[in-house]
Amino acid sequence: MMNFTVDAAGCRYEVVVGPLAKAGRRLGDLARGRSVPVVTDERIWALHGATLSDLLHVEPIFVPEGEAAKSWGQLQRLIARFAELNLDRTSPLLAFGGGSVGDLTGLAASLFKRGCPVVHVPTTLLAQVDSAVGGKTAIDAEGQKNLVGTFHQPALVLADVALLDTLDERQLRAGYAEVVKYALIGHEVLFDWLEDHREAILSGDRTMREEAVSQCFMAKARLVEADPEDRTGLRALLNLGHSFGHAIESAAGLGTVLHGEAVAVGMALAFDFSVAFELCPADDAARVRRHLASAGLPTTIGETGVDRSALLPLIGADKKNEGGRLRLVLTGGIGNAFLAPDVEPERLAGFLANAG
């Protein structure tokens, strides 16, 4: 097992990468003999619920799979169930599923009685390497991805890569896009390593998966600790490819293009846009595109089937923008991402009109 500590916004919590079966004591300490509400979906519960039930007494609460979970209706239903169970502010909630389950549960935990502890047990690669750590919570609203949310740091994160063995191939590859993201932000050595170990990670090598998850956790922890509420621009680097990606998800219809697939296209676009304005070597952009494609990920707008004319207005509504100015995470090359504070809409529109 590998243990990491995150200290963000006065909240200190442990991230454990290793077998869930060995985490019984940690969960028991939080539960203190109480039944723990577990927010999950029926498929995940059927696959892995017994493993969790062997560790402590749980009360499963089922939500829809994927983006369908991230709605006002599901949020209200969760909070109503918490009230029925008469939970108090020390009662831990457990998010057992992918990023959507974690986003919804975290938001509900942050709102119920002004905040109660949440434990993340992510079951997808995307959630294990990214969304389970850092305290961002959200639901989708008004046709936009993650429009409503809070910051609510978890009490504990348990990442067991064995849970990924039942993940379908499309979801696995989508999660891999977020692994690549961490390398592209500020870790060129990690990108070199991924070029050598991509196939092992995708084919099920647990040692390689644990290493990839751990590397991403450490990279994210550094940025979250330095900028816990995304105010200074440091944490914004985690959104490499996301302004483009969220726009693609919304334009396609939320849940149609998977988040990681949209981010893969978004990262390729961020590199191409940076090349177009002589910020990034063209060879780096080509290398990134080749690697994403080799992982079975889309790299062009055309592959998503979205209307490219819809993207600019959606990017204009992105949370990173300030004072009517477009802010995009761009790059000076692999491992050298930066936040561009004032991107000209006309330049971006011209680029999108002709991008792959």
Q: What is the pLDDT of residue 321?
A: 77
Q: What is the pLDDT of residue 24?
A: 87
Say if residues 295 and 204 touch (Cβ distance below 8 Å): no
Q: What is the pLDDT of residue 116?
A: 96
Q: What is the pLDDT of residue 320?
A: 78
Same domain, 182 and 41: no
Say if residues 186 and 336 touch (Cβ distance below 8 Å): yes
Same domain, 87 and 194: no
Count of structural domains, the chain: 2
Q: What angle do CA 252, 258, 261 make, to 5 degrees?
A: 100
Same domain, 136 and 178: no
Spell out a b/e string for 142-165, using b for 16 or more CB atoms within 10 Å of the CB, else e: eebbbbbbebbbbbbbbbbbebbe
The CATH number of the domain where 267 resides is what? 1.20.1090.10
Within 8 A by CB and 6+ apart from 189, the residues are 335
The CATH number of the domain where 95 resides is what? 3.40.50.1970
Same domain, 82 and 222: no
Point out the domain boundary residue: 103, 138, 166: 166
Same domain, 39 and 52: yes
Same domain, 238 and 179: yes
Low-confidence ranges of the chain (pLDDT < 70): none
Same domain, 149 and 253: no
Point out the domain boundary residue: 148, 166, 184: 166
Say if residues 19 and 9 touch (Cβ distance below 8 Å): no
Q: What is the pLDDT of residue 63?
A: 98
User: What gap in Å lies between CA 47 and CA 37, rounded to an integer?
Assistant: 18
Q: What is the pLDDT of residue 231?
A: 83
Same domain, 179 and 281: yes
- Identity of the residue numbered 133: V
Same domain, 233 and 317: yes
- Identity of the residue numbered 180: V
Within 8 A by CB and 6+ apart from 21, the residues are 51, 54, 55
Point out the domain boundary residue: 135, 150, 166: 166
Same domain, 101 and 133: yes
Same domain, 11 and 32: yes
Q: Domain range holding 235?
A: 169-354
Same domain, 139 and 180: no
